[in-house]
């Protein structure tokens, strides 16, 4: 099964690619629309800065096309943040798939928020299969999405924020599942299962 990993400026993607491959996916790592649209699912990895990412994706026609995607989609870290309305980082526009606004943590003492923090599921979801009610995941970010009806997992760092979100076939995680040990791998396994069905 082909899973696309969207290539863009600043993306360090070796870990997510190898994690998906380890789980049996055939990874299509590309910045070309015609390659990505053939995939059973898409992963939007998250590293680097927001604005260059938006420019890069726009120039390839991927940005404007993404909201029409009708198969499973997983945005990770920045890849999740860019699914919202806009982000203070840059500032940069978002895809508007989620209604959240990405803002700098308001109450945190120390930024970036780096390390392992607890993720607690707040709604039942196929991504949760085989995972406990709460688990540790690896975060590295300074901006966060507020809690909303799209929140299916939450975490706390000075304030509560969305760590897993969902709208239809679009999912997003603020943490890096590819860096979150066995639990992260289980979440990716669950996502691949969704791509298959």
Partner 1 sequence: MLTRRIIPCLDVHEGRVVKGVQFVNLRDMGDPVELGLIYEALGADELVYLDISASVEGRRTFTRAVERIASRLRIPFTVGGGVSTVEDIRRLLEAGADKVSLNTAAVLQPALLSEGAALFGRQCVVLAVDALAERDGYRVYIRGGREKTELEAFSWCRAGEVLGAGEILLTAIGRDGTRQGFDIYLTKKVVEAVNVPVIASGGAGRLEHFLEVFTEGKADAALAAGLFHEGTLTPQQVKLFLKDRGIAVRL
By beta-carbon proximity to partner 1, the closer residue of 112 and 168 is 112
Q: What is the three-class DSSP state of 197? A: coil
The count of other CB atoms within 10 Å of the CB of residue 21 is 12
CB of 63 vs partner 1, minimal distance in Å: 20
Instruction: Check if 77 is active-site.
Output: yes
By beta-carbon proximity to partner 1, the closer residue of 145 and 150 is 145
Residues 35, 29: Cα–Cα separation, whole Å: 9
Bridge partners (DSSP) listed for residue 170: 73, 167
Rg (the chain; Cα; Å)? 15
Instruction: Check if 195 is active-site.
Output: no
CB of 96 vs partner 1, minimal distance in Å: 23
Q: Which of 77, 86, 89, 195 is catalytic?
A: 77
By beta-carbon proximity to partner 1, the closer residue of 22 and 38 is 22
Are the C-beta atoms of 189 and 181 separated by less than 8 Å? no
Q: Which of 39, 86, 178, 195 is catalytic?
A: 178
Q: Which of 39, 141, 176, 195 is catalytic?
A: 176
Are the C-beta atoms of 89 and 48 separated by less than 8 Å? no
CB of 133 vs partner 1, minimal distance in Å: 15
| Token output for 119 | 């993720």
By beta-carbon proximity to partner 1, the closer residue of 128 and 180 is 180
Burial class (CB in 10 A: 0-12, 13-18, 19+), 35: middle
Residues that bind partner 1 (CB under 8 A): 10, 12, 14-15, 18-19, 47-49, 109-118, 136, 138-142, 156-157, 176, 178-182, 184-185
Residue 125 Cα distances to 64, 88, 163, 173, angstroms: 28, 29, 14, 13
CB of 105 vs partner 1, minimal distance in Å: 11
Instruction: Check if 101 is active-site.
Output: no
> Which are the catalytic amino acids?
77, 176, 178
């Amino acid at each position: 099964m082909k899973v696309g990993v969207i290539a863009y400026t600043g993306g360090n993607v070796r870990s997510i690619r190898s994690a998906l491959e380890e789980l049996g996916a055939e990874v299509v790592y590309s910045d070309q629309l015609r390659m990505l649209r053939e995939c059973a699912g898409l992963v939007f990895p998250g590293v680097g800065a927001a604005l260059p990412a938006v420019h890069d994706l726009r120039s390839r026609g991927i940005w404007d096309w993404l909201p029409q995607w009708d198969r499973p989609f997983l945005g990770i870290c920045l890849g999740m943040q860019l699914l919202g309305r806009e982000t203070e980082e840059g500032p940069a526009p978002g895809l508007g798939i989620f209604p959240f606004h990405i803002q700098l943590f308001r109450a945190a003492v120390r930024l970036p928020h780096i390390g392992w923090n607890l993720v607690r599921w707040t709604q039942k979801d196929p991504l949760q299969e085989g995972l406990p009610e709460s688990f540790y995941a690896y975060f590295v970010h300074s901006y966060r999405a507020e809690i909303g009806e799209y929140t299916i997992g939450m975490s706390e760092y000075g304030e509560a924020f969305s760590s897993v979100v969902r709208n239809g076939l679009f999912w997003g995680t603020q943490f890096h599942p590819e860096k979150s040990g066995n639990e992260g791998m289980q979440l990716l396994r669950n996502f691949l299962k969704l791509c298959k069905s």
